[in-house]
Amino acid sequence: MTRLSLELLGTFAATFDGHAVSRFRSSKARALLAYLAVEANRAHSRSSLATLLWPESSEQDAYRNLRVTLHRLRRALDDIAPDAGDEILQIGGGHVQIDHSALTLDVAEFRNLLDAVSAHGHTSPDLCRVCIERLRQAASLYRGDLLAGFDLANAPLFEEWLVVEKERLQRLCLWTVSSLASVYEHQKDLTKALEFAHRELALDPYREESYRRVMRLLTLSGRRSEAIACYLDCQRVLGDELGIEPDEETIALVNRIRSGDVAPSQHSPVRLVNFPTMFTPLVGREAELHAISERLSDPGCRLLTLIGLGGVGKTRLAVEAARHIAAESEWTSARFFDGVFFISLASVDSPEFVPATLAGDLGLTPHQGTTVADQVIDFL
């Protein structure tokens, strides 16, 4: 099946099989393709599309314009690959829809990555190596605002849709880079923390929390003069654009920076965990939990097996014991510095698949020339 790749985060770009496609020349054709791609989860009536893009035309002219534009889109797709137009554009019964299975879309990938982070059930993404990588991938997909620099004259409904979607995606990206900045600050990786803090500030130049983060990170990196310059930028932007002064917290921070009174972050390195969500409390297993903790606190204990009949709650007990261990920060630092992981092998029906399952849950990326088993061993 034909797979067209569309990049809409930033300037419009289309590729097929790695080659740039420049056949979508008219603004209306690009607007229609972008709209159908972003809203690919439903079919759209010809009437709504005609009104969206040609609101000032008569109904007859708007329908004709839509018909011509759809024809040109299909022809452009067919030029890419035989029958691509029919595979990608589903037209019939007065409705139009893009087959999302024939399309790769950066907006959809961006949303799917963040949905996966949300579905993983963590109170904070810095507790999961897999979710950190998902956030990094999402941040890399966001090359700029939705259809940056795109202008469509005389189509206010399309512009309204674009503004709403653009702001929604901006907020998601702001949360993404803010989360990553927080993750790396907690891990004391100031270089990466600053990278994402600057992106956070670029997305919302009026957000004082972002200025404070950059100021703090610059100071902790030994770049105090740059931190003070960042405050002056904040003061100028807020004054020139909003007519206000920085708030008390921001002023207090710059005063501490000037006096050399900004201490390093007191956060301890974040322990990575990936426990499954349990919807009921564990009751009456305190003795077993204590026994497990005692056994695992022994440096000589490298493997502890829970034995019992099926359905008695071995997995539930193991997860709860791991939660207790992860919550005891000093104990965890001493014995399990890199974190505590839950990896289910219930669906693994052959020993040969165990390394791949471990690697997937640990968030390891395959490397050529190294077996998966060796990667897991090196990581552990």
Residue 333 has a pLDDT of 44
Asked whether residue 195 is domain-assigned, the answer is: no
Contact 169, 145 (CB under 8 A): yes
* Residue 196 lies inside a defined structural domain of this protein: no
Distance between CA 264 and CA 261 in Å, rounded? 10
pLDDT value of position 282: 66
Q: Cα–Cα–Cα angle for 46, 48, 52, nearest 5°?
A: 115
Distance CA 234, CA 211 (A): 7
* Structural domain ending residue among the three candidates 238, 270, 302: 270
In this structure, what is the dihedral angle of CA atoms 95, 39, 12, 32, given to the nearest 10 degrees? 20
| Residue 122 pLDDT class (50, 70, 90 cuts) | low
pLDDT of amino acid 346: 67
Question: Does the pLDDT of residue 185 top 80, yes or no?
Answer: yes
- The sign of the torsion formed by the CA atoms of 85, 90, 91, 97 equals negative
Q: By the 8 A CB rule, do 83 and 34 touch?
A: no
Q: Which residue has the higher pLDDT, 146 or 183?
A: 146
Under 8 Å between Cβ of 211 and 231: yes
Say how far apart CA 43 and CA 30 lie, in whole Å. 18
| 354 — pLDDT class (breaks 50, 70, 90) | confident
* Number of CB atoms found within 10 A of residue 191's CB: 9
pLDDT in tens, 277-304: 554 556 677 888 888 888 887 777 878 8
Asked if residue 194 belongs to a domain, the reply is: no
| Cα gap 323→126, rounded to integer Å | 16
pLDDT for position 374: 79
Same domain for 90 and 78?
yes
Statement: residue 330 has pLDDT above 70: no
Report yes or no on 200 lying in a domain.
Answer: no
**One domain, residues 97 and 245:** no
Q: Is there a contact between 326 and 272 (Cβ–Cβ < 8 Å)?
A: no
Considering its fold, how many domains does the chain have in total?
3
Question: ∠ CA(66), CA(70), CA(73), 5° rounding?
Answer: 140
Q: Quote the longest CA-to-CA distance of the chain.
A: 82
In a domain, 216, yes or no: yes
Of the chain, the end-to-end C-alpha distance in Å amounts to 41
In the block, tokens 């606190």 appear at 297
Same domain, residue pair 337 and 286: yes
Per-residue pLDDT averaged across 122-133, rounded?
72
Same structural domain, 13 and 83 = yes
Residue 269 pLDDT > 50, yes or no?
A: no
Same-domain check for residues 153 and 56:
yes
- Residues 231-258 have a mean pLDDT of 95
Residue 198 lies in a domain: no
Helices 156-186 and 27-38, packing angle to 10 deg: 60
Domain-located, residue 191: no
**What distances in angstroms separate CA 175 from CA 204, 232, 272, 274, one per listed residue?**
11, 25, 20, 21
* pLDDT band, very low/low/confident/very high, at 363 (cuts 50, 70, 90): low
Helix (H, G, I), strand (E, B) or coil at 310: coil
Do 212 and 333 share a structural domain?
Answer: no
Query: Does 47 share its domain with 175?
Result: yes
The one-letter amino acid at 329: S
DSSP code of residue 272: E
Q: Are residues 341 and 363 located together in one domain of the fold?
A: yes
Instruction: Name the more confident of 356 and 150.
Output: 150
Is pLDDT of 331 > 50?
Answer: no
Q: Are residues 150 and 72 located together in one domain of the fold?
A: yes
CATH number at residue 40: 1.10.10.10
pLDDT at 44 over 90: yes
Q: Domain end: 244, 270, 296, which one?
A: 270
Neighbours of 369 (CB within 10 A): 5
Band (pLDDT 50/70/90 cuts) for residue 338 is low
The pLDDT tens digits for 1-31 are 557 899 999 999 998 877 788 778 789 999 9
Judgement on whether residues 261 and 287 belong to the same structural domain of the protein: no
Dist. CA 253–CA 215, nearest whole Å:
8
The verdict on 178 and 33 lying in the same domain is yes
Domain hosting 176: range is 1-185
Which residue has better confidence, 69 or 118? 69
210 lies in some domain: yes
- Please say whether the beta carbons of 241 and 231 come within 8 A: no
The residues that bridge with 103 in the sheet, in sequence order, are 4
Q: Is the pLDDT of residue 271 over 50?
A: no
Q: Alpha-carbon distance 219 to 233, whole Å?
A: 16
Measured between alpha carbons, how far is 9 from 168 in angstroms, rounded to an integer?
A: 12
- Write the single-letter amino acid at 166: K
The average confidence (pLDDT) of the chain is 84
Whether 378 shows a pLDDT value over 90: the answer reads: no
Q: Which of 28, 25, 90 is nearest to 64 (CA)?
A: 28
State the Cα–Cα distance between residues 139 and 148, nearest whole angstrom: 16
Residues 4, 103 contacting (CB under 8 angstroms): yes
Q: Which of the listed residues 219, 252, 270 is the one where a domain comes to its end?
A: 270
Give the neighbor-by-neighbor strand order of the sheet with 95-98: 44-45, 95-98, 89-92
* Mean pLDDT computed over 147-168: 93
Which of 194-203, 307-316, 366-375 has the weakest average pLDDT? 366-375
Look up tokens 């552990």; give the residue.
Answer: 380
Helices within 120-187 (DSSP H only) = 129-141, 156-186
Residues 136 and 100 occupy one common structural domain: yes
Helix (H, G, I), strand (E, B), or coil: what is residue 66? helix
Q: Tell me which of 170 and 331 has the higher pLDDT.
A: 170
